[in-house]
Structure 1
Amino acid sequence: MYHHPAPRSRAVSRRNLLKGSAAAAVLGASLGPLARASAAGATLVDGDHVNALVIGSGYGGAVTALRLTQAGITTNVVEMGMAWNTPGPDGKIFCNMLRPDQRSYWLRTSTDQPLGYFLGIPANKAIGKYTGVLDSERFSGVRVYQGRGVGGGSLVNGGMAVQPLRSYFEEVLPSVDPKAMYDTYFPRANAALGVNYIDPAWFEAAECYRYARLSRNQANASGYRTTFVPNVYDFTYMAREQADTVPRSALASEVIYGNNHGKRTLDKTYLAAAAATGRLSVTSQHVVTAVKPAPAGGYAVTMTQIGTGGDPVARKTVRADRVFFAAGSIGTSKLLVAMKAAGALSGLPDAVGQGWGNNGNVMVARANHIWDTTGALQASMPAMGIDNWSDAAGPVFAEIAPFPTGVELWVSLYLAITRNPQRARFVFDTGTGAVDLTWQTAQNQPAIDAAKRVFDRLNATQFTVYRRDLFGPNKIWGDDFTYHPLGGCILNQATDNWGRLPGFPGLYVVDGSLLPGNIGVNPFVTITALAERNIEKIITTDLS
């Protein structure tokens, strides 16, 4: 359902691949300066006064950092996670999914995997408490997976670089000019992210995509359309992985706990290019706890420096002329709701904290016949999806997901993105000072209903059944977590049409909290393109 169709020929595939590779090579050449900037004493100290402060280094924050620094503006990024640039005792920066260790999760003593069971038996493992790369943040009715580290969610996602259907984009963001987005800002985002396409001919022969071909063939036989999906993982590198000429990453069960090779994460693209300007400083392992107007002008930003065990090391307050909230849908919304409730930003609109959604996420798995093998070797980067978005009775875009255990399990796994209209809000607890999210698991029933229409039919035509042992004992649907948190500070509601917070000149929101709960596809390209649009306007009108 995304705007630009997948390549239909090898020539088109290679042309797009070369374009994406070239863009990534230019940006990736600056990785060295980023690593040095992160580790060379650029950390903010108490009492500093800075021009532009960006809270968070995910997609919105990385775009903002690059465009500000290119405009000549010295920029400081504050990130609660680590700079993932130092190998562990095994010589690798990240661990894989089969052998998770302390690097896998954010301040947990056990893993909290999306598929937390096998044969109905709990499958999570004990780990050391550490500021790991993946956070599973629990609210009253949902777990939200988020990246922790310099590069944010780009470190832990499957890299699927999907644009929403233009008509749906126009529906959910009516105040945004779609022509500008699809002619200018989506292409700009894709180029800077290093998006590339898989070679269809290689895909058809690749052992590592047997699982995707099986699901595609079954879906097509059941009357559903399937489509290739572009990715920020370098597919030429993946082909070399399968040929065993380079170290394996996507073919070594690496994805949700980070990729050691092949993936064009933000620290290798946008942030690296920003660092190359000489105007970027990154302060990692600092958690922003408060933002309020400063007596001397601008905003006082209070933060806590933490150690790798989550222990507080120092408390600091810096003054920033401008603050860009890029802590993600969850982080930005929680911080602004807390500041409004505490009176620090009491004049924020009532729409702040409203309109949160899980992008219609629900997971499901099917058990195949013993002769329908999915393959022991599976690429961790999805390259294809089932596109049933045109079904008015229940639109679904379903990633054909890997189950990369290294052994044949005959499992077909899917992450369905549906059009779930349910929304929630962030609420401040005056007793504890914490911010919760009102979303309840039952609100995901519309997503289940839509996905069930697709997979009931697929099972019926293929004479297969659902797996009931991966999300809990006798539980079919993975309905209590999301990879795609969206909303909380909706564009043109909580902010103006460019992300400015009304009544507070110099405060901006630039991340996924601007999107109204559902975008119909994996959201990071839309977040990136919207940030490109907004920061261009802000630089032109506010900073020139």
Structure 2
Amino acid sequence: MVDNQHLSRRRLFGMAALSAAALAGATTISAAPRAAAAGKAVAGGTFVPAVVIGTGYGAAVSALRLGEAGVSTLMLEMGQLWNQPGPDGNVFSGMLKPDKRSSWFKTRTEAPLGSFLWLDLANRDIDPYAGVLDRVNFDQMSVYVGRGVGGGSLVNGGMAVTPRRSYFEEVLPQVDAAEMYDRYFPRANSTLRVGNIDKKWFEETEWYKFARVSREQASKAGLSTTFVPNVYDWEYMKREAEGSVPKSALDAEVIYGNNHGKVSLDKSYLAAALGTGKVTIETLHQVKTIRQQKDGNYLLTVEQKDADGKLLATKEISCRHLFLGAGSLGSTELLLRARETGALPNLSSEIGAGWGPNGNIMTARANHMWNPTGTKQSSIPALGIDDWDNPDAPVFAEIAPMPAGLETWVSLYLAITKNPQRGTFVYDAAKDRADLRWTREQNAPAVAAAKSLFDRINKANTTIYRYDLFGKQLKAFADDFCYHPLGGCVLGKATDDYGRVAGYKNLYVTDGALIPGSIGVNPFVTITALAERNIERVIKQDVVAK
């Protein structure tokens, strides 16, 4: 109870710091009396005891626990702080009429559902801007990531799922599962403020008719469904339905950010981290290179830009302890660049390996005219089809909304499958970026598993697939993009069993890059819990001990 009270107080202090930064239009966020408290000037730049790159799940955990341990910590975030309303009075743009706030330096939005009746109705031409959602396009796979203080928590559906213990043990056998499920998963869920939907309200409300329809159809095929916890405030959603508060989930907001209701990281871990008075966040700061100095400290070259992409300054920041929490793509790219350019030549050949899209496959079914899904649909999923025990084709399928504001008779799903295929990142010197070696053929096992599940549902309900939602071609399964990038710096291979990068002291990976390509459910709770486990050991043995 005392720990929770301390965390709540820190969160309040942190929220005040975030609000003050927004009002001032500042790119430096700190609850300390002086914003420069995290570092001190040294010859050629700034020295900070600890730097955390990124502000996503693993990064936020690391910063909070370092701050609690009394370690002055600087977080470097390439995106911006999202809590200042735009001209329309909203922080984020809506999903149905997106503007430049929606996308990271694009000239046109790139929504996952790119068409309806093969017409591109979802996307809009926009001005390039430091928006909240990025689609990183590789040759045969695209990856959606969040940009801003809070990373992916700003743009995901908030589904806070703890993986099946047996599969966790299969994926990460070197991690003590009893410790994870007894201590770190509960800690992560508590700090993330995960909650459960009121089941009675779910059964009654028109906003989840789409999910009840899919549940009934799955049941006819002999499949079971399960309610899924979420970081969205369910009580707030009920008030949205009553009309007593501004709508967010019930106003088709999710992939471009929720203006209300969702407890993203800036309202949980990051707010608490700032509340320690030891953590500072610099926004619109992108780390470009990492190298090690003769004294063993790390020197970062950092570009500061404005929200329109104009370069404002190039800085050098040094630190004793460096934590990479820039996500599977970002952390892997930084280390690959460092290895291949000779800046950190002793990095393992395992850097870049073991990547996967968590078996993500999207698909949709066409319902009969007498079985509508509803014109009102909450954007926050609440149910999943759980067929993970199927020995031939394990699938966990999120029952996803399609909040178009009109009747579509569409049932939409994000299937998470057990695909053993793995990709590899390689450094492209000409482009100065990590390139993903992954083919569409590698997604064939995932498509086959999803098809096996939904063929059963279609057969039981005499329905068919929708072929018009994923571009101009006839396509029932979207296998060319993912929401859950995992791997690239795999735990126990590119790092030790606690995220320490092989070959270098005081260098750590603390995000989804540690998980080898698959975890069987939406991964952010696992990333958070694993980061809790790792940072506890690192602080005890590497930071405080010294």
When normalised by structure 2's length, the TM-score is 0.94
Per the TM alignment, residue 141 of structure 1 is displaced from its structure 2 partner at its CA by: 1.0
CA deviation vs aligned residue, 1:167-208 (integer Å, no higher than 9, x gap): 000000010000000000000000000000001111000110
Corresponding residue of 2:480: 480
1:32 aligns with 2:16: yes
Contact kept in structure 2, 1:37 and 1:281, CA below 8 Å: no
CA deviation vs aligned residue, 1:30-82 (integer Å, no higher than 9, x gap): 41123436737547887011010000000000000100000111110000000
Per the TM alignment, residue 443 of structure 1 is displaced from its structure 2 partner at its CA by: 1.3
1:499 aligns with 2:483: no
Per the TM alignment, residue 279 of structure 1 is displaced from its structure 2 partner at its CA by: 0.9
Corresponding residue of 2:300: 301
**Alpha-carbon distance in 2 for matches of 1:433, 1:409:** 44
Equivalent runs, 1:139-538 vs 2, <5 Å: 139-472=138-471, 473-538=473-538
Per the TM alignment, residue 23 of structure 1 is displaced from its structure 2 partner at its CA by: 11
CA deviation vs aligned residue, 1:390-431 (integer Å, no higher than 9, x gap): 111110000000001111111100000000111011111233
Per the TM alignment, residue 433 of structure 1 is displaced from its structure 2 partner at its CA by: 2.7
Q: Tell me the amino acid that sits aligned with residue 118 of structure 1.
A: F
Corresponding residue of 2:60: 62
Per the TM alignment, residue 24 of structure 1 is displaced from its structure 2 partner at its CA by: 9.4
Corresponding residue of 1:137: 136
Helix, strand or coil: the match of 2:101? Answer: coil
Helix, strand or coil: the match of 2:318? Answer: strand
Contact kept in structure 2, 1:248 and 1:261, CA below 8 Å: yes
Larger displacement relative to structure 2 (400-409 or 187-196)? 400-409
Q: Tell me the amino acid that sits aligned with residue 134 of structure 1.
A: L
C-alpha change, 1:341 and 1:309, in structure 2 (3 Å) is same
Corresponding residue of 1:87: 85
Per the TM alignment, residue 296 of structure 1 is displaced from its structure 2 partner at its CA by: 4.3
Larger displacement relative to structure 2 (350-359 or 32-41)? 32-41
In angstroms, what is the RMSD of aligned CA positions?
A: 1.6
Contact kept in structure 2, 1:24 and 1:193, CA below 8 Å: no
**Alpha-carbon distance in 2 for matches of 1:40, 1:513:** 27
**Alpha-carbon distance in 1 for matches of 2:254, 2:227:** 19
Unaligned runs of 5+ in 2: 29-34
1:101 aligns with 2:99: yes
**Alpha-carbon distance in 1 for matches of 2:283, 2:10:** 21
**Alpha-carbon distance in 2 for matches of 1:25, 1:200:** 28
**Alpha-carbon distance in 1 for matches of 2:113, 2:428:** 31
Q: Tell me the amino acid that sits aligned with residue 439 of structure 1.
A: W
**Alpha-carbon distance in 1 for matches of 2:287, 2:243:** 44
Helix, strand or coil: the match of 1:487? Answer: coil
Contact kept in structure 2, 1:27 and 1:270, CA below 8 Å: no
**Alpha-carbon distance in 2 for matches of 1:22, 1:521:** 31
**Alpha-carbon distance in 2 for matches of 1:513, 1:335:** 12
Q: Tell me the amino acid that sits aligned with residue 522 of structure 1.
A: N
**Alpha-carbon distance in 2 for matches of 1:28, 1:226:** 35
Contact kept in structure 2, 1:291 and 1:339, CA below 8 Å: yes
CA deviation vs aligned residue, 1:65-102 (integer Å, no higher than 9, x gap): 10000011111000000011211000110011001000
Q: Tell me the amino acid that sits aligned with residue 71 of structure 2.
A: I
Contact kept in structure 2, 1:352 and 1:494, CA below 8 Å: yes
Contact kept in structure 1, 2:226 and 2:386, CA below 8 Å: yes
Q: Tell me the amino acid that sits aligned with residue 232 of structure 2.
A: Y
CA deviation vs aligned residue, 1:360-382 (integer Å, no higher than 9, x gap): 00000011111111111111110
**Alpha-carbon distance in 2 for matches of 1:37, 1:512:** 29
Corresponding residue of 1:10: none
Q: Tell me the amino acid that sits aligned with residue 536 of structure 2.
A: E
Contact kept in structure 1, 2:7 and 2:272, CA below 8 Å: no
Corresponding residue of 1:541: 541
Larger displacement relative to structure 2 (474-483 or 296-305)? 296-305
Per the TM alignment, residue 122 of structure 1 is displaced from its structure 2 partner at its CA by: 2.4
Per the TM alignment, residue 307 of structure 1 is displaced from its structure 2 partner at its CA by: 1.7
Helix, strand or coil: the match of 1:452? Answer: helix
Contact kept in structure 2, 1:266 and 1:272, CA below 8 Å: yes
Q: Tell me the amino acid that sits aligned with residue 34 of structure 1.
A: L
Contact kept in structure 2, 1:37 and 1:282, CA below 8 Å: no
Equivalent runs, 1:4-43 vs 2, <5 Å: 28-29=11-12, 30-36=14-20, 39=26, 41=28, 42=35
Q: Number of residues paired by the alignment?
A: 524
Helix, strand or coil: the match of 1:76? Answer: strand
**Alpha-carbon distance in 1 for matches of 2:154, 2:527:** 16
Helix, strand or coil: the match of 2:313? Answer: strand
C-alpha change, 1:70 and 1:24, in structure 2 (3 Å) is closer
Contact kept in structure 2, 1:23 and 1:191, CA below 8 Å: no
When normalised by structure 1's length, the TM-score is 0.94
Q: Tell me the amino acid that sits aligned with residue 391 of structure 1.
A: N
Unaligned runs of 5+ in 1: 1-20
Helix, strand or coil: the match of 2:210? Answer: helix
Contact kept in structure 1, 2:396 and 2:417, CA below 8 Å: yes
Contact kept in structure 2, 1:24 and 1:269, CA below 8 Å: no
Corresponding residue of 2:31: none
